[in-house]
Amino acid sequence: MTAISSVSLPFRRVITLVVMVIFIGVLIILRDLSSSTLYNGSEPPNHRKAAQLSAKVLLESPVAKNYQFVPKLIHQSWSTQELPSKFETWSRSCREQNPDWQWVLWTDDDNLDLVKKHFPWFLEYYQKLPGEIYRADLVRNMYMYIYGGLYADLDIECLRPANELFETYNITAVPYKSTYDGSHHRSSNRQQERKAFFGRMGTNDTFEHSIPNA
């Protein structure tokens, strides 16, 4: 009792403050560990963005049969599943602008699997291309042809939802599953036609986000 009473009041307050700081720090660490275990390092569930759809899962899915709609698929490509920090940031902007879409990151291995499954007659020529960058540039046309959706290079930042573009042209975007299971149907006497929209680097100096092609 003499040991406790001999400690001055200001010093006891300092000790109490230090203990509280340590205790709060431990709680924060435990919370972060719990979150990383539960969500595997991804954002908390209230942070909305396009969910990732594995290319391997997509390759096992039926091919779209209804070309009157745009499938809500965002395709991007990298050598592996590990994106460099700057590309991850720009890619996330596209996923956050389109939270009800699905995001597919095609790797070099996925690209090869796609050619083997849907374009086996082209495999020999595909493998003879001089490098992976040539194969990646070519194969994006193949998965866009087979599955449809939206393709964006990893150095593109999305400023608005893609739906705004398609609505301008009276085109409806629907979940990919709806393009082959019949859950979306639009009656039309016209023969179904594939539709494509192409974007490019801007050259309008009066537009804030116009960037000349380097």
Enter the tokens of residue 142: 């193949």
Task: Confirm if 179 and 71 have CB atoms less than 8 A apart.
Answer: yes
Cα separation, 104 vs 101, in Å, equals 10
Higher pLDDT, 15 or 101: 101
Mean pLDDT computed over every residue of the chain:
78
What is the pTM (predicted TM-score) of this model?
0.71
pLDDT of residue 169: 83
CA 93-98-101 angle, to 5 degrees, is: 125
Cα separation, 39 vs 196, in Å, equals 36
Give residue limits of the domains in the chain: 2-39, 51-181
For the stretch 119-159, pLDDT in tens is: 999 999 999 999 999 999 999 999 999 998 999 999 888 98
Phi, psi of 104 (to 5 degrees): -120, 120
For the stretch 35-81, pLDDT in tens is: 333 333 334 444 689 999 999 999 999 887 777 788 999 999 999 99
Q: What is the 3 state secondary structure string of 133-161?
A: HHHHHHHHHHHHHHHCCEECCCCCCCCCC
Cα separation, 94 vs 9, in Å, equals 57
